[in-house]
Chain A
Amino acid sequence: MSTWTWDLVHRTTYTYPQDVTDSYGRTVLTPRDLPGQRRLAHTVDVSPTPADLVEEVDYFGNVTTYFVVTAPHRRLVVTARSQVEVTRTVPALADLPTTAWDDAAAGAPDLTVREMLLPSAQVAPDAAVRAFADGLFTPGRPLREVVTDLSHTIATTLTYQTGSTTVHTTQAELLAQGTGVCQDYAHLAIAALRAHGVPARYVSGYLETRPHPDRDKLRGADASHAWFSVWLPGYGWWDVDPTNDQTVDCRYVVLGWGRDYDDVPPLRGVVFTEGTGSTLEVAVDLVPTGTDPYL
């Protein structure tokens, strides 16, 4: 087991054409304390200085921050800084239980697992999803195999394309167009699993991006990432990243989880302004502790 310590900066900057008089926001930008992941330090800074800022724990146990800015402004900057120690053990596939997928639902013990069986705001297991995934779910097949196969199928079926989907894109639309982003990959996997009675949830977090061997790492060019977690009886929640078709390891930092993206967007908000539209810049920097500070 190895220990990794990460320095994490996530800065979101909104620029508005006219004054914003009131800005209400909620973040899910604080890494969770978990077995295999420990938060060593964390701050959320909001500029202009908020009139109210409070940290709360949500229904799913995620740490969220609520803030209100009441000073008129044309630029809102939300900066989350964390230092996280990750000691996650990646299970070898052969060590995972061989429970069949069709028995997985029956074994769901508690409410937090059972509620991940249900459709949610952004995950609708419909006919298109079934058509896509039914072939993977042959009777009696071990769930661990179904999941790795599902991850691989999604990774090879979809083409990653930034900006090709929005928060409103459905899984049926995603399959029709064949392109999406990591949130879509995760949602599709969750939809396929729930359609077959297997509890699955959405995980929000980060993945370290490795530079090309010949070049220096481009700082701030990391990004929010998302994957899914499946309930494996006899093991528990197993995190799999369908975008990169791999199991989640020590290079991943978990922020939080929910039924889908809608439960844990990194930042959401309501603003009051006469102006329409805004410019959004996101910079994420995930580097091993000890690297020169980015921001």
Chain B
Amino acid sequence: MTDLLSSPVLGELRPDWSWLDGSAPDPQVLADARQSTQTLLADHGVTYAGDDRWRLDPAPVIVQADEWRALERGLVQRSQLLDAVLGDLYGARRLLADTLLPPLVVLSHPGFVRAVDQVRLPWAQPRQLVLAATDVVRDSAGVWCAVSDRTQAASGAGYAMEDRRVVAQVLAGPYRQAPIARLGPFFHALRVALHDVAPGCDGSGGPRADGPCADGPRADGPRAVLLTDGPDSATAFDQAYLAAMLGLPLVQGSDLVVRSGRLWMRGLEGPEPVDVVLRRVDAHWCDPLDLVRESRIGVPGLVRAVRAGTVSVVNPLGASVLESPALAAYLPRLAREVLGTDLELGSAPTWWCGDPVHLSHVLARLDDLVLVPSSGPCVAGAALDTASRDRLVDQVRAEPWAWTAQEPAGPADTNQGPAAAVLRTFAVAHDESYQVMAGGLARVWSASDAPPTDTHEPAPSLVGPPLSAVHPVPSSGALRLRATHAPSQGRPVAKDVWVLTADRLAPDDESGPVHETNERGPAGLSPRTAENLYWMGRYAERAEAQTRLLRAVVDRWDDYHTAPRSPGGQALHVLLRAVVHHDDANPATLRDLVHDATAPRSVAFATDALARAAQGVRDQLSTDTFGPLARIDRALAEPDQDVAPDGADPSDRVAALVREGTGATSGLRPVLDTVLESLLAVAGIAAEGLVRDAGWRFLDAGRRIERAQHIVDTLASTTVRAGPPEVDRLVSEAVLEVHESTITHRRRYPTTATVPALLDLLVHDDTNPRSLAFSTARLREDLQAVPSRRTDRPDHLLRDVAGLETELDAVVADSVSVGGRRERLAESLGSMSWRLEAAHDEIERLHFQHTAPQRTQTDLWGRPNVIFGGGE
């Protein structure tokens, strides 16, 4: 198989495994490794673009030490040059001259952010570019060549680390034998950079007397956060993973606020100062006041804080101007001007159409070139028919400054094997220079995929290699090589990059995220995160409760559903009432109650919500959490060949379920078992693997209040209607089983199960973790332990919860009233249910502050003296 990135052997495009004692890994070893990779990626919950799994081929790209050293030197030099250019563009603009860098290259680029003109990062090093990512390819001569620079908010460092973890595991043999350079030092350097770049911190990390930080440098050091564009971002995994690796809170715009000219993070106890923002939000979306008005993912006032020098944004908001494709044409002469040396890592020949000489050259050679606009998809000249070619020429002539042309780099022969391969490299400002990640994120597109495009895709995306990395194949009729890939099409496969090193390696293994929770006390937990954790607890418990209930139904189904009048049949009916909640939409079948994620009472619905909540707080959780979640997903995704029952009367859903017949439950038991095991694993990781900080308290509080509600609901639907003693006994047994209290009951009560015994165990027994008394006591404990920004209200909430416990005493056991209903029990349970809901509402009000919606002030456009604006 050809390999477009590895160091070539004797001019052949195949990886060199000769450094291994034996030879290249056996094909079977690689095949097994590919299989294990899939499982590991699923277990780690590694996603890309929503629910898509990250695609990784464990066969690594291998780069020889001496070759890497040369590339590394080129990357360091390129970063230094880009940094100097960036500093100049937002400063003296000395380089902005026709003889060096034509002004319109910069002035016409959307990344030139005028609102942050003259802003400097307040750190000791006179550097503005903190993080640089450069995509490189091998050109047809096998020489490394830069195809684009990512300076806005480059993604992929987290994926690179995760790829390394997985590959080191599935190819443990070769990995251990090989002298492979580690990725860790890059992340360490990034942590140092994020610390040093804080206002008031000089390079050594000590406080600076004249620091611009308004309230002086704090004893606990600067606080950095990672600003995400949200859990729905295509690279949400990458962002959360990076946040966890760096030990940074993962925050959204709504978690931050600008007050008194500086940036704060909303905390449980009130605002906490933020000194450094590592942003994964494109600059224009970072501040709806001073940048794009429509943004709902930014922080109003951020630009004001940046201009005041009270917060450092990394990379600076203006950095994406360096992504201008035209810059490549001028870097060689800028290198000579700024660094006094030749550019080591060059690009394919590039022309900026804003220069009339370049323009005529481009128009004459259109068929050989790829045209890249400053925004939008790029166009391969060769792929155009006459009409679209003319249209393109008109477009370029109308706005020449907006177009750049480049000769395709990359391998010429793409008939076989991969069509394109791009290596994304990363460098971070470190000491007086840049530290390059020893490796990177390699992405390979296979020839069968749709022609890739989108050279200058929005920054967070990893879709599509730069078009200039491939030789376009002429094809009649294709107007634009616009990416129209289906999820599995045109999507690259990632590879780990093994840089062989002559250096002796530190013995430490590559480790993933470190969970240093709350070095600074309760800080770092936003109300949004607290809310996610709380709901994660609730949904985990809800999924478990419903799974146990359904398991009890499934176990009794085959024996009893054909004999509805027998005690067993009547008991089954009662259990079904508990499964089908009175206010549900109509679930068609028992199978739906397990598999159908759109049915609100189903297991799948609860586990989906659980997974979403977990994704939203990924940076807070152990990565082990995602293995069980992946197993649940697999178990519930099994094909559903159920036939809906006909003639089911929607008015009696329980009856409809009963009519489903013998096949209704086939195959459900093993699914429910797998789901339950995995849920218990999640609960175990939460119980044993998390620090008892405020975050854990919210997770636990969610679990406890949900369990309490579940007990109340189950009792209300199973014990209020008094049945014949034999039916009551069967029902009580089942309820004990559902609440995992069967063995305790047997030990305590010599008699058969009765409703009073049931209530005693499930309501009053405060030593039973499945009881109401235990749950409410734990809830109170949790709520006492969490900080709150409002001092007046917590007591109120705690009184409510304490009231719940008192209410327990009032639950009257076994008074059967007229008509076969335990009326007083029904009243007690009803009141309890209502109180639990009230407590939930109060938790939301008290801890999960919701800010009012953000709106744009009506504009003063026009000259009306009185208008009635709609607002937004």
> A118-B108, A272-B853, A276-B871 are known contacts; what are 14 more A-B pairs with Cβ within 8 Å?
A23-B857, A51-B259, A60-B114, A68-B301, A225-B863, A261-B861, A265-B860, A265-B861, A268-B857, A270-B293, A276-B870, A278-B858, A280-B869, A282-B866
Q: Give the docked Cα–Cα distance between A167 and B859 (Å).
A: 8
- Please report the total number of A residues contacting B with Cβ < 8 Å: 58
Q: Which residues does chain B contribute within 8 Å of A181, judged by CB atoms?
A: 861-863
Cβ of A41 under 8 Å from chain B: no
Contact A271 B855 (CB under 8 A): yes
Interface string of B285-324 (1 = CB under 8 A from A): 0001110010000001100100110000000000000000
From 24 to 61 in chain A, residues with beta carbon under 8 angstroms from any chain B beta carbon are: 24-26, 51-52, 54, 56, 58-60
Contact B851 A14 (CB under 8 A): no
Q: Which residues does chain A contribute within 8 Å of B104, judged by CB atoms?
A: 114-115, 117-118
**Interface-located stretch among A80-88, A137-145, A158-166, A286-294:** A158-166
Q: Which residues does chain B contribute within 8 Å of A224, judged by CB atoms?
A: 860, 863
Cβ of A269 under 8 Å from chain B: yes
Contact B289 A24 (CB under 8 A): yes
Cβ of B856 under 8 Å from chain A: yes
Shortest Cβ gap from A183 to chain B (Å): 6
Contact B859 A52 (CB under 8 A): no
A12 interface neighbour in B117, B401, B860, Cβ under 8 Å: B860
Q: Can you report 20 A-B residue pairs in the complex whose CB atoms are below 8 A from each other?
A: A21-B852, A26-B290, A66-B301, A68-B301, A111-B93, A111-B107, A114-B104, A115-B107, A163-B867, A183-B861, A221-B865, A223-B863, A224-B863, A267-B857, A270-B289, A270-B855, A271-B857, A272-B851, A274-B852, A280-B860
Of listed A21, A60, A111, residue having the most chain B CB within 10 A? A111
From 144 to 196 in chain A, residues with beta carbon under 8 angstroms from any chain B beta carbon are: 162-163, 165-167, 181-183
Q: Which residues does chain B contribute within 8 Å of A281, judged by CB atoms?
A: 865-866
Known: A111-B107, A270-B289. A280 touches B866 (CB 8 A): yes
Q: Give the docked Cα–Cα distance between A71 and B733 (Å).
A: 59
Contact A278 B869 (CB under 8 A): yes
Q: Give the docked Cα–Cα distance between A274 and B863 (Å).
A: 28
Q: Which residues does chain A contribute within 8 Å of B261, judged by CB atoms?
A: 52, 54
Interface string of A219-258 (1 = CB under 8 A from B): 0110111000000000000000000000000000000000
B861 interface neighbour in A25, A114, A167, A220, Cβ under 8 Å: A167
Chain B residue nearest in CB terms to A164: B862
Shortest Cβ gap from B289 to chain A (Å): 5
Q: Give the docked Cα–Cα distance between A25 and B856 (Å).
A: 10
Shortest Cβ gap from B788 to chain A (Å): 19
Contact B114 A59 (CB under 8 A): yes
Chain A residue nearest in CB terms to B115: A59
Shortest Cβ gap from A252 to chain B (Å): 15
Chain B residue nearest in CB terms to A183: B861
Known: A111-B93, A272-B853, A280-B867. A70 touches B289 (CB 8 A): no
Q: Which residues does chain B contribute within 8 Å of A162, judged by CB atoms?
A: 862-864
From 235 to 258 in chain B, residues with beta carbon under 8 angstroms from any chain A beta carbon are: 257-258
Contact B857 A111 (CB under 8 A): no
Chain B residue nearest in CB terms to A258: B114
Known: A52-B259, A163-B864, A270-B288. A111 touches B859 (CB 8 A): no
Q: Which residues does chain A contribute within 8 Å of B308, judged by CB atoms?
A: 54
Cβ of B522 under 8 Å from chain A: no
Of listed B259, B261, B856, B871, residue having the most chain A CB within 10 A? B871
Q: Give the docked Cα–Cα distance between A283 and B860 (Å).
A: 11
Cβ of B399 under 8 Å from chain A: yes
B865 interface neighbour in A21, A114, A182, A283, Cβ under 8 Å: A283
Q: Which residues does chain B contribute within 8 Å of A266, judged by CB atoms?
A: 860
B300 interface neighbour in A54, A119, A261, A270, Cβ under 8 Å: A270
Cβ of A211 under 8 Å from chain B: no
Interface string of A1-23 (1 = CB under 8 A from B): 00000000000101000001111
Contact B401 A25 (CB under 8 A): no
Q: Which residues does chain B contribute within 8 Å of A56, judged by CB atoms?
A: 304, 307
